[in-house]
Amino acid sequence: MGGRLNVYENPVTVKFLKHVSAAARAYASKLPTRTVELVSLRVSQINGCGFCTDMHIKEATHHGETTLRLGLVAVWRETNVFTEAERAALELAEQGTRLADGAEGITDEAWQNAAKHYDEDGLGALVSLISFMNTVNRMNVLTKQHGGDYQVGWLTQW
């Protein structure tokens, strides 16, 4: 893994990661696993997090996601392989990750579209997932954690 700082061994970052990972479990049962992995992958792609991109491709594949859909996540708008609910989640994820790119932040249209497919708990889970991924992506990018070596299930220890 290497990088500037080994966030998986440093006592401060390990403690932080354990806390945010425990909090992340709140959304795990409220969203389909494939949706979690697709959203996590897209947020990680946008943020340029090689470690998380590697991890979520491998975890998604492990949970039955196809290579076709994984390969098309970055261009999901121009495809027909994602459900309407997945598309709504990906849109919310993109807007929630690119906050500085748009004057509006999250558009009412994107929120209302997500609300068509997810109840209040599902929306809370999506918001939590998007926030979590942006947090861990930034930690990994700041410390230059590289992708390629992740083994499926490795982060379940957190």
| 158 belongs to a structural domain | no
| 77 belongs to a structural domain | yes
pLDDT in tens, 94-139: 999 998 887 678 999 999 999 999 999 999 999 999 999 999 999 9
| CA angle, residues 32, 112, 24, in degrees to nearest 5 | 35
| 1 belongs to a structural domain | no
Q: Is the predicted pLDDT of residue 157 greater than 70, yes or no?
A: no
| 4 belongs to a structural domain | no
* Total count of domains within the chain: 1
pLDDT band at 27 (very low <50, low <70, confident <90, very high): confident
Q: Which domain holds residue 106?
A: 11-150
| 68 belongs to a structural domain | yes
| 157 belongs to a structural domain | no
| 41 belongs to a structural domain | yes
Q: Is the predicted pLDDT of residue 1 greater than 60, yes or no?
A: no
Q: Residue 110: which CATH number?
A: 1.20.1290.10
The Cα–Cα gap between 25 and 29 comes to 8
| 79 belongs to a structural domain | yes
